[in-house]
Chain A
């Protein structure tokens, strides 16, 4: 039987797997990413707060601390290179009691050891000045913290990897790994592949894949957090994320501004063994609002536009204590494999440094030839909503599809939606279009535009109506046509 052979197969196409793929694409290698979902931001990479962390919250000497600081420092250049939205807006951790003040002093000191810059303890007046609506007597201000668009960021890294030759296999869940004749044989739900090297970047699936590699014994638990998204009316009231004083293990429920002007509230943290359940219970919605209202008093039900949840894969020891990122090679058990376990927060911030670290580890096994054709620059979809009227006029003159507004809430045009439908990764889901354009993400949640987008997808991709899915396999939108060949839209 003939199987497709690659130099490297990366299991998991989230932000970490894609960052690894992009770093490896700097060398002359054939690289594939196996992604079990129909898109790359279906799990942890797309379900989080979108905060770029300063690196002060982690124990000194850990990979979390080191890679987070490195990721934070490189974010401006990366955002420019890849064209995703990033705001270095800073953030505050607000407190009221003496105990909290002392805790923030310890966090400051830890941050200094970690190399996190831009940290200061500020009083009430300064807090009022930089973040007027925050409630607290004092705060720790981290000027280097920020927020990014987690969808745009992950997609940008992946698309740049793909543009540099990385092959994305979507809907390919890895079901088995075996080593024969000096190669890794990778069984997936869509066929068999082989590779000289494999990388486990499976996120929530890291424990399962680690076991398949033969590196057993890791205990990975999920920490599920729920969120509420608020209307853009609330955006001007929140210039930067507001956090409570963190405990040892958990950042606390915070309010976060997004790069698009919304506010998100959350997350709580519940341990879970079910890595596929993203339901949000009523009690958590109420708890999030109540808890976060203590640090920011503008959470009102009339501004809710959506809720969501995400799960972080946490590697814990036998006592349940959360461990550092594990990024390892175990040649005696699993030669030519890099195993990543427990890549949770700050994985979003640290993704590219993680990618560089994995590339370095593989280069220690073998001297890869430089890929001179590697182009680190990616052009994003030009967004009508962000342009001046003059720029808009120019763009429409060149491409009239930019003159047709499809999503009214977020002002997304037909041109942008067409580019997202024909995205470089070949993602064919409705939410794929949503995450790439913001269409259907506004206050009407697609009430106006989803019909037209569904119709465009059917036409552009030649899909029958029953083949259209929202985000997961089985998430069909339609039973089919009601009447053969009918319709008047």
Chain B
């Protein structure tokens, strides 16, 4: 087996991986390998033909493929390449990877590794939606790939379960292609996608959003013939007597994304059950020294910009690690009342750290409060807090005293 060595190896050539690669090069780490399993780099951006990407990074609204192309062009101009059609089979604690491609199997030893594998969609089976198992039940991302990459029309009359962003975008997409979208059904009492998508993808097309509703049965022996939807109570249980049958031939599921951490788990990297991504310190370093994580593999982001900016931060840390200049982080960050998760989970106290967090339920005007040993060390007021919108707060180094854990809460 061939063994190759690189200073830095990035697993995944989506927005996070590509941005991390360019940043490493900018910082003087030139021996960088980006590994991508698909034929082209770009990741999920390739199928996101709607616009709205890049407002933070480029100051303009780009489509997904345009956004990916900017990142690819930057790598090209730096003389960097992405190794495509290559799948990572394993990763070890000492940063050795086994990869496979049509050329064979190779072993790669990396000075530093950045995990940028992205996420996968929650499926029907994971939700255990009752009923038959006909054809015509697609996750939103699969539907998007079929329509936007493979030129396949997937159905004529659709019901959408879940108000995730891709589901709403596909509601619009299907409508534009002449399909009838019967409605979006969301089990929670608040939408899980961004307000701008509710407005631009549902409201503008007259597609109803039904909160506190779910599909309680899928019908059809061969292809979907319809669904039964029901209202749910505060415990999310279907309310008897509220069932309604909706004829349709297609069901689109937009019910959540799960960071794709199978490789991380095999490498023995500890995950946070809240994010389902790695536990990281302020350098986005995982529990495995020299292995960093960024983008949707770390936690699911709202915007590609956030994922790619986070990946640049991971790249800076990886460069510092390669120079042997990464301080250790001994202060834990934990979630208090009203907070679903907060990242990173460990900080050093030596520098200001941007915290990313999500609240566990929708709140009106409130404060994100940081406390250490009962002492308030930071506060950010927000006019509203939605689980669908990531919140960023800066943790000031000069406020941190000692190594007691820091609690983040929403009040």
Residues A482 and B153 in contact, CB atoms below 8 Å apart: yes
Identify A408's interface contact among B37, B126, B142, CB under 8 A.
B37
Chain B residues positioned under 8 Å from A480 (CB to CB): 152-153
Q: How far is the CA of A387 from the CA of B216 in the complex (A)?
A: 42
A486 at the interface (CB under 8 A from B): yes
Q: How far is the CA of A465 from the CA of B100 in the complex (A)?
A: 31
Q: How far is the CB of A222 from chain B (nearest CB, A)?
A: 15
| Chain B residue with Cβ nearest A278 | B132
A3 at the interface (CB under 8 A from B): no
Interface centre among A308, A404, A444, A477 (most CB of B within 10 A): A444
Chain B residues positioned under 8 Å from A396 (CB to CB): 100, 102-105
User: Among residues 215 to 250 in chain B, which have CB atoms less than 8 Å away from a CB atom of chain A?
Assistant: 216-219, 221-223, 238
Chain A residues positioned under 8 Å from B104 (CB to CB): 393, 396-397, 403
A451 touching B100 in the complex, CB below 8 Å, given contacts A404-B85, A476-B223:
no
Q: How far is the CB of B28 from chain A (nearest CB, A)?
A: 33
Chain B residues positioned under 8 Å from A367 (CB to CB): none
Q: How far is the CB of B216 from chain A (nearest CB, A)?
A: 7
- Map CB proximity to B onto A378-404 as digits: 1 under 8 Å, 0 otherwise: 000000000001101100110011011
Q: How far is the CA of A78 from the CA of B14 in the complex (A)?
A: 47
Chain B residues positioned under 8 Å from A401 (CB to CB): 102
Chain A residues positioned under 8 Å from B142 (CB to CB): 446-447, 450-451
Chain B residues positioned under 8 Å from A487 (CB to CB): 149-152
A389 touching B85 in the complex, CB below 8 Å, given contacts A477-B135, A478-B152:
no
Residues B130 and A285 in contact, CB atoms below 8 Å apart: yes
Chain B residues positioned under 8 Å from A276 (CB to CB): 221
| Chain A residue with Cβ nearest B273 | A302
Residues B151 and A483 in contact, CB atoms below 8 Å apart: yes
Identify B128's interface contact among A307, A397, A405, A479, CB under 8 A.
A307
Residues B126 and A304 in contact, CB atoms below 8 Å apart: yes
Chain B residues positioned under 8 Å from A277 (CB to CB): 132, 221
A488 at the interface (CB under 8 A from B): yes
Interface centre among B124, B128, B131, B147 (most CB of A within 10 A): B128
A126-134, A241-249, A467-475 - interface stretch: A467-475
Chain A residues positioned under 8 Å from B121 (CB to CB): 444, 447
Chain B residues positioned under 8 Å from A229 (CB to CB): 125
Residues B101 and A472 in contact, CB atoms below 8 Å apart: no
Residues B89 and A411 in contact, CB atoms below 8 Å apart: yes
A305 at the interface (CB under 8 A from B): yes
State how many residues of chain A have any CB contact under 8 Å with chain B.
Answer: 61
Residues B222 and A472 in contact, CB atoms below 8 Å apart: yes
Identify A279's interface contact among B1, B128, B132, B223, CB under 8 A.
B132
Residues B145 and A451 in contact, CB atoms below 8 Å apart: yes
| Chain B residue with Cβ nearest A282 | B130
Chain B residues positioned under 8 Å from A483 (CB to CB): 151
Q: How far is the CB of A66 from chain B (nearest CB, A)?
A: 36
| Chain A residue with Cβ nearest B139 | A447
Q: How many A-B residue pairs have CB under 8 A?
A: 152
A67 at the interface (CB under 8 A from B): no
B367 at the interface (CB under 8 A from A): no
- Map CB proximity to A onto B43-85 as digits: 1 under 8 Å, 0 otherwise: 0000000000000000000000000000000000000000001
Residues B153 and A447 in contact, CB atoms below 8 Å apart: no
A182 at the interface (CB under 8 A from B): no
Residues B123 and A444 in contact, CB atoms below 8 Å apart: yes
Q: How far is the CB of A286 from chain B (nearest CB, A)?
A: 9
Identify A389's interface contact among B98, B132, B136, B145, CB under 8 A.
B98
Residues B100 and A444 in contact, CB atoms below 8 Å apart: no
B146 at the interface (CB under 8 A from A): yes
B156 at the interface (CB under 8 A from A): yes
A475 touching B222 in the complex, CB below 8 Å, given contacts A396-B105, A397-B104:
yes
Residues A479 and B153 in contact, CB atoms below 8 Å apart: yes
Q: How far is the CB of B150 from chain A (nearest CB, A)?
A: 5
User: Among residues 434 to 472 in chain A, which have CB atoms less than 8 Å away from a CB atom of chain B?
Assistant: 443-448, 450-451, 454-455, 465, 469-472
Residues B149 and A392 in contact, CB atoms below 8 Å apart: no
| Chain A residue with Cβ nearest B105 | A393
B361 at the interface (CB under 8 A from A): no
Chain B residues positioned under 8 Å from A446 (CB to CB): 142
B141 at the interface (CB under 8 A from A): yes
A358 at the interface (CB under 8 A from B): no
B120 at the interface (CB under 8 A from A): yes
Residues B130 and A305 in contact, CB atoms below 8 Å apart: no
Q: How far is the CA of A285 from the CA of B223 in the complex (A)?
A: 22
B376 at the interface (CB under 8 A from A): no
Q: How far is the CB of B379 from chain A (nearest CB, A)?
A: 34
User: Among residues 14 to 55 in chain A, which have CB atoms less than 8 Å away from a CB atom of chain B?
Assistant: none
Residues A475 and B135 in contact, CB atoms below 8 Å apart: yes
Residues B105 and A389 in contact, CB atoms below 8 Å apart: yes
- Map CB proximity to A onto B79-110 as digits: 1 under 8 Å, 0 otherwise: 00000010101000000001011111100000
Q: How far is the CB of A456 from chain B (nearest CB, A)?
A: 12
Chain A residues positioned under 8 Å from B120 (CB to CB): 443-444, 447-448
Identify B134's interface contact among A281, A475, A486, CB under 8 A.
A475
- Map CB proximity to B onto A274-317 as digits: 1 under 8 Å, 0 otherwise: 00111111100100000000000000011011111000000000
A263 at the interface (CB under 8 A from B): no
Residues A305 and B153 in contact, CB atoms below 8 Å apart: no
| Chain B residue with Cβ nearest A399 | B102
Chain A residues positioned under 8 Å from B147 (CB to CB): 482
Chain B residues positioned under 8 Å from A465 (CB to CB): 152
A238 at the interface (CB under 8 A from B): no
Residues B128 and A455 in contact, CB atoms below 8 Å apart: no
| Chain B residue with Cβ nearest A391 | B105
Q: How far is the CB of A220 from chain B (nearest CB, A)?
A: 20
Residues B150 and A445 in contact, CB atoms below 8 Å apart: no
Residues B153 and A481 in contact, CB atoms below 8 Å apart: yes
B30 at the interface (CB under 8 A from A): no
B287 at the interface (CB under 8 A from A): no
| Chain B residue with Cβ nearest A276 | B221
Residues B100 and A392 in contact, CB atoms below 8 Å apart: yes
Residues B150 and A489 in contact, CB atoms below 8 Å apart: yes
A279 touching B153 in the complex, CB below 8 Å, given contacts A307-B128, A475-B222:
no
A280 touching B131 in the complex, CB below 8 Å, given contacts A446-B142, A473-B222, A476-B223:
yes
B340 at the interface (CB under 8 A from A): no
Q: How far is the CA of A482 from the CA of B174 in the complex (A)?
A: 11
A479 touching B85 in the complex, CB below 8 Å, given contacts A276-B221, A280-B130, A281-B130:
no
B302 at the interface (CB under 8 A from A): no
| Chain A residue with Cβ nearest B87 | A405
Q: How far is the CB of B375 from chain A (nearest CB, A)?
A: 36
A228 at the interface (CB under 8 A from B): yes
Q: How far is the CB of B222 from chain A (nearest CB, A)?
A: 3
Residues A488 and B149 in contact, CB atoms below 8 Å apart: yes
Interface centre among B85, B120, B127, B147 (most CB of A within 10 A): B120
List A residues at the B interface (Cβ < 8 Å).
228-229, 276-282, 285, 301-302, 304-308, 389-390, 392-393, 396-397, 400-401, 403-405, 408-409, 411, 443-448, 450-451, 454-455, 465, 469-483, 486-489
17 more A-B contacts (CB under 8 A) besides A474-B223, A486-B151? A279-B219, A390-B1, A393-B105, A404-B101, A405-B87, A444-B120, A447-B123, A447-B139, A451-B145, A451-B146, A472-B221, A475-B223, A477-B135, A478-B152, A479-B152, A479-B156, A487-B151
Q: Could you give 14 example pairs across A and B, Cβ below 8 Å?
A: A305-B125, A307-B125, A307-B128, A308-B133, A444-B120, A444-B123, A469-B135, A470-B135, A474-B221, A476-B222, A476-B223, A478-B152, A478-B154, A479-B153
Which 4 pairs, one residue from A and one from B, show the smallest C-beta to C-beta distance?
A487-B151, A306-B125, A474-B222, A475-B135
List B residues at the A interface (Cβ < 8 Å).
1, 37, 85, 87, 89, 98, 100-105, 120-121, 123-128, 130-136, 139, 141-142, 145-147, 149-156, 177, 216-219, 221-223, 238, 262
